[in-house]
A and B are shown apart, each in its own frame.
Chain A
Amino acid sequence: MLRFVRMPQYVLTGALALLFLFPLLWASYASVSPQPGTAQTKGFGFANYETLANYQAGIGQYLLNSTLVSAMTVLFTLGVATFGGYAFAMFKFPGRNVLFLVTLAILMVPYATLLIPLYVLLNQLGLQNSLFGLALVLTMFQLPFAVFMMRISFEAIPKDLKESAEVDGCGSFRALTHILMPAVKPGLITVGLFAFLAAWNDFITPLVLISDSEKLPLPLAVANMRQQVMGIVDYGATEAGVVVLALPCIVLFLALQRHYVRGFMSGALKG
C-alpha cells in the first residue's frame, strides 16, 4: 500500500537523478559514437581517443604531468596538514592563533591576486615552468581546508585515547604516528581526496604558471586542443578528453564516498 502511494515520488526523484547523470552519460556515449567532423565518422569506436592520444606531446605526457602534480600536491598537503593540525589541536605555543588565522585567510584571497606575484616569485626561485613549483602553489591553496580539517579531526579524538598516548611515555612523534594517525583516518582520506581533485582539475594556476606546452597538465591540454585543429573544433576529441579527465575523479569519489562523508560529519559534530 505504502509502495503505491510513493510511486510518483520514485518516478520524479528518479527523473531528477537522471537529469544529473545525463551530461556524463551523454559525454561517454558521444565520445565513442559516430559523428561528422570528428575522427569517428562511421560506427562506434575509439578513434576520438586516438586523436587525443596523438595530440602534440601525446596524451601520455599530459597524463603523466597531471599525475605527478597531483601526487606531489597530495603528499605535501597531507604532510603539512597532519603536522599542522596536530600542532594546532594538541599544543599551545606563542603565535598559534595568529598562524591559524593567517592560514585560514588564504581562503579570502582570490587565486588571481596571488598568482600574479607567484608568477614573479617562482621565476626568482628558479621554479618557473616547473611541475614541482606548481605542486607547491597548489598545496598552499589546499592548506586552509586541510589544516582546518586535520585540526578538528585531532580535536575530535576521544580524551582517553589522547591521554593513553601521553601516559605511554612515547614521544609526541611516536604518539602521532602510532596512536593518533589511525584515529584521524577519515580526515586524512578527506584531505587527500580533495587535494587530489583540486590538483588534478585546477585550471587557472597552471594557465598562469606553466608556459611550456610539454609540461601542461591534462585539463589545459584538452582545452587548448579545441582551438587548434585549423579553427574547427573537434568535439569528439573534446568529449574523449572529458571522459579521460573525469574517470579517475569519479572512481575515487565513489570509492571513498563513505569515508569523506564521515570526515565531514565529524567536523559537523564539533559545530
Chain B
Amino acid sequence: MSVYTLQKLLRDVNRIPERRAAYFGSPAKFAEGYDLTGRERDALLAFDVRALYDMGVHGLILRPFTILHKMSDPDYVKVLRGEQP
C-alpha cells in the first residue's frame, strides 16, 4: 500500500494549490502528513526522480510533479534512462 500513499502525496502536490504551497514551503514537514516508508521519504526529500519512478510512481503523476520542479523534458528522459545521475 505504500506506493499508493506516495502517489497520493505527489498527486496532492500536483493538483491542490494549498498542498502545493505547503510542500514547497517545507517538504519535510509536508511529508509528515503521509505514512511513507523511510525509502520513500528519502527519495522524495532528495528529489530522486529515478528512485521514485523505480518504486512504481505512475508516469503521469511523476512527470507533472517534476514539471513543478522545473525539470525539462530532455532532463527527465535522461534521468529515467540512467543517462544522468
Q: Decide whether A and B assemble into one complex.
A: no
